[in-house]
Structure 1
Amino acid sequence: MRNPSPTRSAAHSAGQSAGQSAAPYAEALTAHAREPWLRLNVPGHAADPDAFAELAAFTGEAQLRLDVPPLLDGLDLGPDSPRATALRLAAEAWGARRTWFLTNGASQGNRIAVMALRSLGECLVVQRSVHSSVVDGLVLSGLRAAFVQPAVDRALGIAHGVTASDLARALAANPDAAAACVVTPSYFGAVADVRALADAAHAAGVPLVVDESWGAHFGFHPELPRNALALGADLVISSTHKLGGSLTQSAMLHLGDGPFADRLEPVLERVFQLTQSTSESALLLGSLDLTRRRLATGTDAVGRSLRAAELVRERIRDRGRFAVVSDGFADFPDIVAADPLRIPVDTRAGGIPGHEARWRLMTEHQVLVEVATDSAIVAVVGAGSAPDTARFVAALHALPVTVPPGRGTESLELPVPGEVRMTAREAFFAPSRSVPAEEAVGQVSASTLAAYPPGIPNVLPGEVITAELVSFLQSTARTPGGHVRGASDPEVRNLRTVSRPRC
C-alpha cells in the first residue's frame, strides 16, 4: 500500500484511516505477555520475577513479561503482522511512503540517512549546526561535507537554521552534491522554511534530508507547524521519544513519496539492517506504536500542552526579570515560526548564566530542563503532558542573581568553526595523539567535541582547532552543570589531534 503524498498534512488530513485508533503491535505484545509461557529463549531473565527479584523490583514485573525477543510469530513476522501494520499506520500518520522504527534513537536515523546518501554521490551539503550523529554518518560513509553556516544569535550562543538562498548557493558551488541536509526545528524551537529549502534542493536535482528530531509532534494539532514531509522533504529523521513521548532511545525514520524514493528505499532498508540491533527492544517498539496512536488521536491533549506552555511564557513576560528567547525570532530571516511547546528563556537577562540556572533548578528545586547555553535554558512540554507550570515559574524566579543582569560582554560567544582541512572520515581514522589544549591550537581535530547540552559539535574531525574554541570549551567545562561531550577529560585540558604538521 502506498501511503499519503508528503503534500498532505500529517495527522489531520481528510480521509485519514480510522485505524489510527488502534495500536496493533503494542496490543499484540500485551496479549502475548499475558500468556503463561515457559520461556526457554532469550532474554535470560525468562520473565521470572522470583529468580530475578532485583530486576523485577527495578523494572516492574509487567516490563519483564513485555521484554520479548524479536522475530516472534504473531508479533513480527509476515506482511500483515502487528509490527508491519504498526509501521504502515506510522507512515500514514506522518505522511510518509515508508517508516522504519528505530531503537537506537534519532542518532541511528541520522547515521542511516547519511550512509544511504552515499549511493547518490560523494558530497553532502549540510547545515554546520547538525547533531553529532550526522558527523558520525560522515565518518561511516566517507562523504565529503560542504557546510552551510546557520544564522547565529551570538549573544545567546544559539545556532538557528539556514535560508533557502544560502542552501541554493552551497548547492550551486557543489554540483556533485548527493543531497542537502538541514535541521529544523532547532533546539530552541526555531522553525525553518522547509518548503523553500525543499524547492532549492529539488531545483539542484538532489533530495532534502531534514533532521526533525525535535519536531516529531509537528502536524498533530492545528496550532503546531506542519511537519517536514508535508512540506516536501524527502527523508526525515524523527526523535519520537523527545516531544512525542515514546520511551527514551525510540525514534522513527520517514521516507517521503517523492522523486528520489524509488532509488533511496532499497538502500535505506539495507543500511537499516546494517545498523539496527538484531535484539531490538519490544518495549521501545511498543512505545512507538502507542505514541503514534496518541498523537494521531489526541488533539485535545496536545491542545492542553500548548496552553500550558503559553501560560509559562506569559507569566515570564509579566514578571519582567527574564526574557523569552523566541520573542526575538522575527529578527532572523531563516526563522518562519516557533515551536510553541518549547520555552526558551534568556537567563542572563535575569542575572544568572544558563548553565548555572539549569544546575540550580535541578539541585535546589528538583526541576529538570532540557537545554542550557551560557546565556539561556530551554524547558520543553511534551505533546500531551500537563506540567506544573506554577512550580517552574516559581523555581525560575527563585534563582539568585549571580551576574549583572542583561546581555553583557561576560557571556560566552559561540565560536566560529575552524577551517576544514580533511574529511571527517580521513581525520577520524588518521594517526592521532593527545596534546595539551594550548598546543592543539592550529592543529586538526581528530574528535567531535560539543558543549553539551545541546550536542551541536563545536569542532569536527578535520577542522582546525582555534584558540577561541579552546577557551569556549574550557569555560563551559568549568561552569556548574557544563559538560563537553566527546572530551577525553572533564576539564578539556587535552585534545586529540591528527598527527600531522601544524596548519
Structure 2
Amino acid sequence: MVLLKQLLQGRRPALPLHLPAHGRGRGLAPELARLLRLSPGAWDLPELPQIGGPLESSGAVAESQRLWAERLGARQLWYGVNGASGLLQAALLALAAPGDRVLLPRNLHRSLLHGCLLGQLEPVLFDLPFDPSSGLWLPPSPQHLQAVIQAALADGPLAAVVLVSPSYQGLVGDLAGLIAVAHGQQLPVLLDEAHGAHLGCDGRLPPSGLSCGADLVVQSLQKAAGGLAQSALLLQGPGSDLPAASIERGLLWLQTSSPSALLLASCEASLQQLASGRGRAQLSRALDLGEELRARLRAEGFVLLENQDPLRLSWICAADGISGLEADDWLLERGVIAELPEPGCLSFCLGSRPPRGLLRRLPQALRRCRGALGSGAALRFSRPPLPLVASPERPLAEAWRATPEVVPLAAAAGRLAAEPLCPYPPGIPLLIPGERIDSARALWLQEQCQLWPDQIADTVKVAVE
C-alpha cells in the first residue's frame, strides 16, 4: 500500500504553496468540507434521477448548472469532472470539424494538442513575445494577434482562436482587445482560463474572460478557487451563437458517463464560495497578504514577475544567478513546496487561504536560498527560434503514430518530430509531432536540455521518413 500509506500519513510541510489552491484543505469551500466529513458512501452516488448529470435536462446537477449560468451571466454552463483538460478538448471539438485549422498560442497546454489529435484538427501555432530575463512567454498584444491572424489566414481559413489567460504565472494581457481582434475576423474564441476562476471577483483583479466576450471559457476550480482536483467549468458566453448541441456532443465524447457526485458537488460549492460574502472576504484577505508579501520581498531586493494576480508569486531567481529548478530542490528539503519551478523563475500558489506565518517564513526561506545558491551574475535566456505562425509539416496524428527513431538532439536537425517535447509541469510543449527541426531549433533544444535537467532528455524521437 504505497500510495495509501503516503496519503494516510497526512504530513503537512512547513509551507505548502502549490495546487490545489485550497492549500491542503485550508481554503476548501465550506459546504464541500462539510460534505467530506460525512461517511464517503453517503455521497459516492451514481446518476440517480434526483441527481442527474452535466448532460441531463433534469435533476439537481441540471438545476445547479442553470442557476449558476444565470448568476455568472453565461448563456450556458457545464460542470466537468475530468479537469480543465477534458473540457478544453470538448470545447475545441465543438468549435472545429475534422480537417479544420485552429490557431493556438505556443504556451498552449498539451491537452489542447491532444484535442487536435482526437478531432483530426490542424494546429496552427503562433509565437508569443518573450522575456529573456525570466525565460517566459508573455501575453500577446492585440496588434501582435492581428498580425498572427493575417499570417495564418494567408494559408487558409481558420475555425477558431484559442487564447490562454491568465498564464500559469498569473500574467494577463488585454483580453478584451484580443477577443475583439479575433471577433473582427469572425473567429470564435476559446479561452483557457484554468488559472483564473477568481478573476473579476475583486476590483483589484482583471475581468473574467466571460465579461470580455469570449465564446467559450474553461476554468479549473482547483487552481483558483476552493474546489477539489479535476473539478472544472465550461461556460458559453452570452454573445456566442454556437449551438448547445455541438458543445454537448463534445462533452459526450470526452467526459465520463459516470461522473463523480463529489466532484460535481465541488463545482457547485466552489462557485457558492466565490459568490458569498464570506468567500469574497477570504479572497480579499488573501489578496491583501499577497500584496504585502510582494512589497516585503521587493524591499529586500528580490526581483518578482510583474503579473496581474497577487495570488501567484513568481520569483525571477535568474536575476540572482539561480535556476528555479535548483531553488525548488533546495526549498523542498526544507519543507517549502512551490508550484512551478522553471529555469528562470520559481512560482508559488498562495491559494485562497494562504498558510499561517507566510509573511515571515517565505521571505526567510528565500533569503537563505539566495544566500546558499546565488552567484550574483544574472542568467539570460535565448528566444525560441520560431516563426510567427507554423503548422506541423506532417499531420499531427500521422507523425505521432509514425515509427519512431531515437536520435541525439545534436543530430536532430532536418528531422520530423515524432512526439511532443514537454517538460512537466505545466505541460507546455516545446516541440510538437510533425514539426521539422531546423538547425537553429536543434541548437535551442540542446540548450533547453541543459536548463531542464532530468526533465528533457538529450535525445528526441523523430519519424522515420
Query: In structure 2, what is the equivalent of residue 343 of structure 1?
Result: 313
Query: 1:260 offset after TM fit, Å?
Result: 2.9
Query: In structure 1, what is the equivalent of residue 303 of structure 2?
Result: 323
Confirm or deny: 8 A CA contact 2:74 2:210 kept in the other structure.
yes
Q: 2:255 aligns with which of 276, 281, 291?
A: 276
Letter aligned with residue 104 of structure 1: N
Residues 311-356 of structure 1 show CA distances to partners (whole Å, capped at 9, x for unaligned) of 1101101112x21111xx6xxxxxxxx1122111111223422111
Distance 2:335 2:143 in 1: 44
Q: 1:392 aligns with which of 339, 358, 362?
A: 362
User: If the length of structure 1 is used for normalisation, what is the TM-score?
Assistant: 0.78
Q: 1:377 aligns with which of 346, 351, 354?
A: 346
Compared CA separation, residues 235 and 271, structure 1 to 2 (3 A)? same
Return 5+ residue gaps in structure 1 as ranges.
1-22, 31-58, 330-337, 485-491
Q: 1:72 aligns with which of 43, 48, 51?
A: 48
Letter aligned with residue 472 of structure 1: E
Confirm or deny: 8 A CA contact 2:327 2:373 kept in the other structure.
no
Query: In structure 1, what is the equivalent of residue 269 of structure 2?
Result: 290
Query: 1:191 offset after TM fit, Å?
Result: 0.5
Distance 1:26 1:395 in 2: 33
The DSSP-based 3-state class of the residue aligned with 1:236 is: strand
Query: In structure 1, what is the equivalent of residue 167 of structure 2?
Result: 186
Query: In structure 2, what is the equivalent of residue 3 of structure 1?
Result: none
The DSSP-based 3-state class of the residue aligned with 1:497 is: strand
The DSSP-based 3-state class of the residue aligned with 2:218 is: strand
Letter aligned with residue 342 of structure 1: R
Query: In structure 2, what is the equivalent of residue 471 of structure 1?
Result: 446
Letter aligned with residue 169 of structure 2: F
1:307 aligns to 2:284 (yes or no): no
Distance 2:136 2:43 in 1: 41
Compared CA separation, residues 64 and 442, structure 1 to 2 (3 A)? farther
Query: 1:221 offset after TM fit, Å?
Result: 1.4
Distance 1:407 1:132 in 2: 31
Query: In structure 2, what is the equivalent of residue 199 of structure 1?
Result: 180
| Identity score, percent | 30
Map 1:229-244 onto structure 2 (within 5 A).
Answer: 229-244=210-225
Query: 1:250 offset after TM fit, Å?
Result: 1.5
Query: 1:121 offset after TM fit, Å?
Result: 7.2
Confirm or deny: 8 A CA contact 2:129 2:139 kept in the other structure.
yes
Residues 183-228 of structure 1 show CA distances to partners (whole Å, capped at 9, x for unaligned) of 1111221112111111111110111111111111111112211100
Query: In structure 2, what is the equivalent of residue 402 of structure 1?
Result: 373
Q: 2:414 aligns with which of 428, 442, 460?
A: 442
Query: In structure 2, what is the equivalent of residue 33 of structure 1?
Result: none
Letter aligned with residue 269 of structure 1: E
Distance 1:127 1:280 in 2: 31
1:462 aligns to 2:419 (yes or no): no
The DSSP-based 3-state class of the residue aligned with 2:274 is: helix
Confirm or deny: 8 A CA contact 2:339 2:348 kept in the other structure.
yes
Map 1:77-88 onto structure 2 (within 5 A).
Answer: 79-88=57-66
Query: 1:403 offset after TM fit, Å?
Result: 4.4
CA RMSD of aligned residues (A): 2.5
Q: 1:124 aligns with which of 81, 98, 102?
A: 102
Distance 2:83 2:63 in 1: 21
Query: In structure 1, what is the equivalent of residue 15 of structure 2?
Result: none
Map 1:88-127 onto structure 2 (within 5 A).
Answer: 88-119=66-97, 122-127=100-105
Query: 1:266 offset after TM fit, Å?
Result: 1.1
Query: 1:112 offset after TM fit, Å?
Result: 1.2
The DSSP-based 3-state class of the residue aligned with 1:180 is: strand
Query: 1:386 offset after TM fit, Å?
Result: 5.1
Distance 2:383 2:42 in 1: 48
Return 5+ residue gaps in structure 2 as ranges.
1-28
Letter aligned with residue 346 of structure 2: I
Query: 1:474 offset after TM fit, Å?
Result: 2.3
Letter aligned with residue 75 of structure 1: I
Distance 1:494 1:348 in 2: 26
Compared CA separation, residues 112 and 359, structure 1 to 2 (3 A)? same
Query: 1:115 offset after TM fit, Å?
Result: 1.7
The DSSP-based 3-state class of the residue aligned with 1:452 is: coil
Confirm or deny: 8 A CA contact 1:348 1:403 kept in the other structure.
no
Distance 1:227 1:201 in 2: 17
Distance 1:431 1:424 in 2: 14
Distance 1:278 1:199 in 2: 36
Letter aligned with residue 345 of structure 1: W
Bigger CA drift: 120-129 or 303-312? Answer: 120-129
Compared CA separation, residues 258 and 61, structure 1 to 2 (3 A)? closer
1:171 aligns to 2:149 (yes or no): yes
Letter aligned with residue 231 of structure 1: C
Compared CA separation, residues 497 and 127, structure 1 to 2 (3 A)? same
Compared CA separation, residues 372 and 168, structure 1 to 2 (3 A)? same
Compared CA separation, residues 161 and 422, structure 1 to 2 (3 A)? farther
